[in-house]
Structure 1
Amino acid sequence: MKQQHNEAHDHAHDHNGIFGQRTELYFSLLSGVFLLIGFLIKILGADTQSVWFYLIPFFFSYGFGGYYITIEAFEKIKVGGFEIDFLMIAAAIGAAYIGSWAEGALLLFLFSLGHALENYAMIKAKKSIEALGDLTPKAALIKKNGKVEEVGVEALKINDIIVVRPNSKIAADGVIIKGNSAIDQAPITGESMPIDKTAIASTDNLPKFNAIDSAHVVYTGTINGDGSIEVLVLKLSKDSTVARLIKMVSEVETQKSPTQRMTKKFEKWYVPIVILVVIILCFAYLVVNEPFEDSLYRAITVLVAASPCALAISTPSAVLSGIARAAQKGVLIKGGKALEDLGSIRTIAFDKTGTLTEGKPKLTNMIPFQNYSKEALARLVLEVESLSNHPLARAIVKDVESQYNLVHENVASNVNAIQGKGISATYQNKTVFIGNEKLISDEGLTIAPELRSKMEGLLREGHTAMLVAHGTSVVGLISVMDVPRTTAVETLKRLKSIGIKRMVMLTGDHQNVGDAIAKQIGLTEAKGNLLPEDKVEAIKELMQRDGKIAMVGDGVNDAPAMAYSTVSVAMGAAGSDVALETADVALMSDKIEMLPFAIGLSRASKRIITQNIWISMGVVALLVPATILGLTGIGLAVVFHEGSTLVVVLNALRLLAYNEKK
C-alpha cells in the first residue's frame, strides 16, 4: 500500500506544471492571494455587492489550493486508498456546501501550503543529495596514441587513460599513473582538507579497486588541485562511487523508520473511523434538537479538525531533512530505520585494524645494545630490510628513512627469508639476523636477560618485537605496531560524553595487542583472537547483554558481524562496494571522528520526530472534542489544524542546519 502511495505521490509531482518544480508552492500562494481578495471584498463591501462578487475570488482560491490535492487524492483512490488528501477535499466541499466559503478556501490554502512546503523540504533534501549527480563532469580528456581528445564520460571504458587538468573535476574512479596533486574530496567524503595524491609505482598486477592504497586512488566528481595528472580508469561511470551513492539515496525513502510505520498503521485505521464519525454526526439533528444545517456544520468542522495532516508529514519530513544533512557532511544514512536506531545505541563494537588504528604497522622502538649506537643500528636495519619485499620490512624501511633521515646505500647483500622467523643477510662482511627469539636461539646466539625482559615487555604491550644480531652478538631490538589513529582517543571521549556506555574492540589480533590498544585509547573492553565468524558470536553475546548494538568496521572482513548488528557503520566507504552495500550508515571519508556527529544527528532527528508527533496528536486531541461539543467554529479549527502542519514541517527543516555541539 505504501509503495502505491509513494508512486501516487511521485506521479502527482512528476508534472512540474507551468512554474517548474515550484508550481505547487506558487499555486498555494495564489490560493492565499485570492482568499485574501475575497475576504477583503466580503468585509469591506458585503452590503453593497452581489454575493458572487466575493465568491469569484474564493472559486479561484479553491481552484489553486485544491488542484494538486485533488490529483493526489484521485491517484490514491485509484489504488484503493482513502487518505488525508481525500478528507481535505471532502471538508472543503462540505464547507462550501454550508456557505463557509472563506473557511473552505482557508483550509485548502493552508493545507496546500503545508503540502507544498513538505514537498519543498523533500525536494531540497533530495536535491542536496542528488547534487552528487551534478558532480560528475559530462566530458573527459582521453589520451590515445599520444593524442588527447575530449569524449563524453559515458564513452569511457575500463583501462582508458584520462588527463585531468589543474582545478578541474575528475571524470572517473581510477588510479593515478602520472603526476601528483592535492585532491579536494569533500563532495564525496566530506573531508574539509584536500588530500595529497601521487602516482602509483606500477600498474602491473593491480589489486581490486578498494584494495589499492588510497594515496593513489581518485573518485568521480572530486576536484583536482594545481597538478596535472593522468588517471587509469578502473570503473565505468554507471558503477562509480557517485552513481552508487545516488542510487542508494533514492532508495532510502523505502526503508521506513519504526515511527513512520507506526503512524502509517494508525492512519490506516484512523481515516475510515473519522469518515464514519462524520457521517454519523450529519444525522445528529435526529437526536439533538437542532436544524440539519447545524449538524452538517459540526460534522464538517470535525472532519477538518480530525484530519491527521501534521501527523502524516511529521516523520517523513524529519527523516528526509536528517538524511540530507548527513549527506552534506559525507555520511550516508540508509533510511529512517537506521536514522532512528542509531540514536538509541548505548554500546558500540569496533573492528580494530583500519578503524581504531591506522591499519599500517609503524616502527615504534629502536633499542641498541652492546656498544652499538642508535644510528648504527638504524643504518643496519635499513640496509637489510630494504632488500626484503615483506610488508613489515617495507613499513620499517619507510619509518627508518623518515625518522632517522637516512637513505639506503645498497651495501647489504644475500638476503634470505626464513619462514616464520625473520630474515638473514650479509652486511659489512658479517651475517645479520633480524627476527623473533626462535631465530636467534636456533643460530646459537645468546640473548642477554635485560634485552629479553625488554622484549617481553614490548610483546605484552602489543608490539611485534624483533631482535637484531650482527656477526656473533645480538646488537639491538626493534619493534613495530599498528598504531591507534590520532583522532581515536578524542572521538571515544566525545562518544562517552554523549552517553555511549560501552565501547568494545573486536580484533583478530592477539588479546595482548587488543588490551594494549584498548588501554591506550580508552575502550571499555577488548576481545582478541577472533575470526570473522567469532565476531558474529561476539556481536550476538553483546546484543543479549545490551539489547541494541552498533558495529563499526571497514565493511570488508566485518560484513557478517555488521549484518548481525542493530546498526552497522562502515568507515571509509568511498570506493568500497561491500561497505556501501552492507552498512546502514556509511562514513564516506576514513574519519572515525564523524561518528559522534552521526549519532548526535540521529538523536536530534528522533527528538524532532517525537515533538512533531506530540504537536500533531495534541492539536487533534484538543480540536476534535471541542468541535464535537460545538466550542469551536470551522475557521478556528482550520487555523489550528493547518497551523500545526506548518509548525511540524518548519520544525523538521531545523535539522538541515544541525551541527554537533562540541
Structure 2
Amino acid sequence: MTTIHQKDEDTHQHNDAHNHQGIFGPYTELVFSVTCGALLALGYLLNFVENFPAWINLSLYLMAYFFGGFFTTKEAIETISKGRFEIDFLMLVAAVGAGILGEWAEGALLLFLFSLGHSLEHYAMGRARNSISSLADLAPPTAVLLKNQKRQEIPVNELEKGDTILIKPNSKIPADALVIKGSGPVDQSPITGESIPLEKVAYQANDDFLQQPEKYLSENRIFAGSINGPSALEARVLKVAQDSTIARLIRIVKEAEKQKSPTQRFTDRFEKYFVPSILILVVVLCFAFLVIDESFSSSFYRAMAVLVAASPCALAISTPSAVLSGVARAARGGVLIKGGRPLEDLGNIESIAFDKTGTLTEGKPKLTHSLPFDGFTEIQLLQYAVAVEQASDHPLATAIVKGATLLLKDSPVPQAEGLQSITGKGVSARIDQDQIRIGNQALFEGNIPKEILAQMTEIEGTGHTAMLVQKGDHWVGLLGLMDTPRAEAADVLKRLRSLGIRKMVMLTGDNQRVAETVARTIGISEVWGNLMPEDKVDAVARLDARENKVAMIGDGVNDAPAMAKSTVGIAMGAAGSDVALETADIALMGDQLSSLPFAIGLSREAKRIIKQNLWISLGMVGILIPLTILGIASIGPAVLAHEGSTLIVVFNALRLLTYQDKSEELPT
C-alpha cells in the first residue's frame, strides 16, 4: 500500500523491489496471503463441528494472522524506522484490536484481504515497471570488437569511444555508433517507434570523427537496441554503454516516475488535511461509549472499521499508477515523456506552435536556382557559394554546397577565410581579400537594388528561399532553395484537429511569403515568419498568454529557448541528440511528425483515467466513512471495498499500457 503521509513514490518502489522476495521468490507474498485465507476458512468451518476444541480454532486463526500479517508487519517496521507512517501500521492496529476484542476471525479476514490486495497491487504495478525495465533488454550484452585485424567478443560495458565493432546481419546493435563500412536497412522501432527500417550508409570517418558530430547524418548513425537488417556493418562507437541513447532513455523514464503531476500534488495537499482529520475522528469514536449506550468494545470496533474505510490508499496510488503506465506506453512507442506534469499538461493542450524547418518540412532543402548577375558567370557564383558555405553546418549551407558541387563538377573552389555567421541572416568570409556575403534580405539592411529585390520576391512567391551573394560592393547572383513539406504533415494536422487541437501556428525564421506557401500546402492558417531565435521566444510567450496553454515543437536545439517558454516543449528526432533529450519535456525519438498525435492521444487518455481514478477513490471513501460510522459496514466489508477500490484504480491505469492511437480512424 502507499503511505498516507508520503511525499513521493520512493517507499512504493522500495516495497516493490524488496518485499516480494522470500522462499517462493516474487510470489511469496501471494502464497502467504492464500495460506492465510485457507487457514481462516478452515478455522471458520470448524466452528460448525460440534464439541470441536476451541484452542484448535484459535491456533488456526493465529497462524492466519502470521501469514497474513508477515509482509504487512515487515513493511510497517521498515517505514516506521525511517520516520514514515504507513497504512500498513494502521491495518495492523485494527487487526490487533479485533484480536483483543476476541474477534479473531474478523482480524484474520482483514489481514487476508489486505495482504491479498497488497500482493495483487504489487503484481499489477510490477507489470507497468517491467514495461520500462524491458527497455534495458533491448541492447545485447556483448559486442564483436574489431582490433588488429582480429575479432573479439567482449561485454558491451567494455566498449570505448572510437572502437570499431562488427554488427552481424539480423542482430541487435550493441552501441550508439557511426557506420563506416557496409550499408543496409536497420530497424530502429525499439528506440524511435519508426515502423519502417531506415537505410544506413557508411560515413567516411577520419581520426577526429568524434569531434565532428554536426556532420553525421541520420543515415550514418545507428543506436544501441535497434536491429540490423540482412547486411553486415562495421561501425565506430560514439558513446559508451552508460551514455547511449537507450541508457539515457531508461534513466529519464525511471526518473519521470518520481516527478509529480498537478493532480498528484492536489492529492498530496488533500491528504495533508484529510489524514489528521480522520485520525482525530477515530480517537473520538473510541470514546463514543461515553456518549451513547454501547460498550467500549463496540466503540473501539467501529473506530477500527472507520480507520480501515478512510485510509486513502486508492487515492494515493490513483495518479502515480496512471503516470507510470502512460510514461511506459509512450516509451514503447518511441515517445519520451518526462513525468506526470508534461503528461497531464499535454493532455490539456489545445494550441501548438510548430517550427517550420525540419518539423513541418523535411529539413533538407535543395538548391533550385543559381542566377548570376551581369559581370559574373554561374561558375563564379557557385564557387563563391561553396567556398563560404562549406564551413557552415546550417541546413541551408549544406544544401547550397551539395547542389553547387554537383553543378561545378571538377571546377576548383577558392579558399575562404574568416567565416562569420550572422544569426538569422547569413554568413560572410574573405576570398583573396574580397569580402563575400551570402544571406537573406535582412543581411543587406535594405540596400538591395529594386530589380534584384523584384527577382527575390518572385522566387520567394513560389515557396522558395532566396539568398543573395555579394562580393565587396558588387552583386554576384541569386540562389534559390526549396524545403519541401513532410509527406505526412497535412494528414497529421488533420488528426490533431480531430483530437481537439483548435489552434496551430507556424513559427519560422524564413521569409513570410515562403512560409505562407508551405502553410497553404499543409493546411496551417496562421504563420509568423522572419523570426529570429529570440523572436520565437516572444511569440510563444504571446501565444501562451492568449491561449493559456501552448505546446512548442521543434528540433530541440535551435528551438530550445522557445520550448522552455512553452507549457510543453516537444523535440523532434531526439534519438542521439543530447540537447533534445535534456531540454524537451517530451521527445519524439524518431524523426516522425506522426508520433505527435499518438503522444497527445495517449496524454488525453491518461488524463481521463486519472479523473476516473480520482472519482473512484474519493467516492469509495465518501461512501464507506458514513457506513462504518453508522455501523452498517463492519471491518470485513470495509477492507474488502477498500482493497477493491485500490485494485480497480491500478488495473484501470494499466489500460494505458495497451493504448492504441485511434486518431487515424477519427473523421477529419
Provide TM-score, normalisation by structure 1: 0.84
Q: Structure 2: how far apart are the matches of 1:275 and 1:355?
A: 55
Q: Which amino acid aligns with 2:346?
A: L
CA separation of 1:114/1:599 partners in 2, compared to 1, >3 Å: closer, same or farther?
A: farther
Q: Percent identity?
A: 54
The answer to whether the Cα contact below 8 Å between 1:82 and 1:271 also exists between their aligned partners in 2 is no
CA separation of 1:289/1:489 partners in 2, compared to 1, >3 Å: closer, same or farther?
A: same
Q: Which amino acid aligns with 1:216?
A: N
The match for 2:195 is 192
Per-residue deviation, residues 242-281 of structure 1 (Å, max 9, x unmatched)? 1111211221122111111221222233223222211211
The answer to whether the Cα contact below 8 Å between 1:210 and 1:576 also exists between their aligned partners in 2 is no
The match for 1:141 is 144
Mapped pair 1:32 → 2:37: yes
Mapped pair 1:71 → 2:74: yes
The match for 1:431 is none
The answer to whether the Cα contact below 8 Å between 1:12 and 1:72 also exists between their aligned partners in 2 is no
CA separation of 1:127/1:261 partners in 2, compared to 1, >3 Å: closer, same or farther?
A: same
User: Residue 150 of structure 1: SS of its match in structure 2?
Assistant: strand
The match for 2:432 is none
The match for 1:374 is none
Per-residue deviation, residues 153-201 of structure 1 (Å, max 9, x unmatched)? 2222111111111112212111000001211111211212211101013
Q: Which amino acid aligns with 1:628?
A: I
The match for 2:490 is 489
Per-residue deviation, residues 40-74 of structure 1 (Å, max 9, x unmatched)? 444xx344423333344433333233222222222
Shift of 1:30: 3.2
The answer to whether the Cα contact below 8 Å between 1:383 and 1:411 also exists between their aligned partners in 2 is no
The match for 2:572 is 571
Unaligned runs of 5+ in 2: 372-377, 420-425, 429-437, 442-449, 470-476
The answer to whether the Cα contact below 8 Å between 1:37 and 1:57 also exists between their aligned partners in 2 is yes
The match for 1:80 is 83
Tell me the C-alpha RMSD between the 2 structures: 3.7
The answer to whether the Cα contact below 8 Å between 1:140 and 1:162 also exists between their aligned partners in 2 is yes
Q: Which amino acid aligns with 1:350?
A: F
Q: Structure 1: how far apart are the matches of 2:257 and 2:413?
A: 63
Per-residue deviation, residues 387-442 of structure 1 (Å, max 9, x unmatched)? 997576974797899xxxxx9895767889999899xxxxxxxxxxxx9999xxxx
The match for 1:507 is 508
The answer to whether the Cα contact below 8 Å between 1:8 and 1:76 also exists between their aligned partners in 2 is no
Question: Equivalences for 1:554-593 in 2 at 5 Å?
Answer: 554-593=555-594
Matching residue within 219, 234, 237 for 2:223 = 219
The match for 2:553 is 552
- Number of equivalenced pairs: 620
Per-residue deviation, residues 106-156 of structure 1 (Å, max 9, x unmatched)? 332332233323322332222211222222222211111222222222222
Shift of 1:487: 1.2
Unaligned runs of 5+ in 1: 368-377, 402-406, 423-434, 439-446, 469-475
CA separation of 1:533/1:51 partners in 2, compared to 1, >3 Å: closer, same or farther?
A: farther
Q: Structure 1: how far apart are the matches of 2:314 and 2:639?
A: 12
User: Residue 504 of structure 1: SS of its match in structure 2?
Assistant: strand
The match for 1:110 is 113
Shift of 1:35: 3.4
Q: Which amino acid aligns with 2:248?
A: R
User: Residue 359 of structure 1: SS of its match in structure 2?
Assistant: coil
The match for 2:433 is none
User: Residue 348 of structure 1: SS of its match in structure 2?
Assistant: strand
Question: Larger deviation: 378-387 or 105-114?
Answer: 378-387
Q: Which amino acid aligns with 1:601?
A: L
Q: Structure 1: how far apart are the matches of 2:294 and 2:13?
A: 41
Question: Larger deviation: 253-262 or 411-420?
Answer: 411-420
Question: Larger deviation: 356-365 or 652-661?
Answer: 356-365
Question: Equivalences for 1:239-638 in 2 at 5 Å?
Answer: 239-362=243-366, 395=399, 410=409, 456-464=457-465, 479-638=480-639
User: Residue 204 of structure 2: SS of its match in structure 1?
Assistant: coil
Q: Structure 1: how far apart are the matches of 2:591 and 2:182?
A: 24
User: Residue 92 of structure 1: SS of its match in structure 2?
Assistant: helix
The answer to whether the Cα contact below 8 Å between 1:118 and 1:317 also exists between their aligned partners in 2 is no
The match for 1:10 is 14
Q: Structure 2: how far apart are the matches of 1:194 and 1:89?
A: 56
Q: Structure 2: how far apart are the matches of 1:540 and 1:436?
A: 28
The answer to whether the Cα contact below 8 Å between 2:383 and 2:414 also exists between their aligned partners in 1 is no
Q: Structure 2: how far apart are the matches of 1:199 and 1:601?
A: 37
CA separation of 1:532/1:388 partners in 2, compared to 1, >3 Å: closer, same or farther?
A: closer
CA separation of 1:7/1:643 partners in 2, compared to 1, >3 Å: closer, same or farther?
A: closer
User: Residue 483 of structure 1: SS of its match in structure 2?
Assistant: coil
Matching residue within 48, 51, 68 for 2:54 = 51
User: Residue 483 of structure 2: SS of its match in structure 1?
Assistant: strand
Mapped pair 1:119 → 2:138: no
Q: Which amino acid aligns with 1:634?
A: I
Question: Larger deviation: 630-639 or 586-595?
Answer: 630-639
User: Residue 228 of structure 2: SS of its match in structure 1?
Assistant: coil
The match for 2:649 is 648
Q: Structure 1: how far apart are the matches of 2:659 and 2:413?
A: 61
Shift of 1:497: 1.0
CA separation of 1:454/1:218 partners in 2, compared to 1, >3 Å: closer, same or farther?
A: same
Shift of 1:220: 1.2
Mapped pair 1:22 → 2:27: yes
Shift of 1:77: 2.1
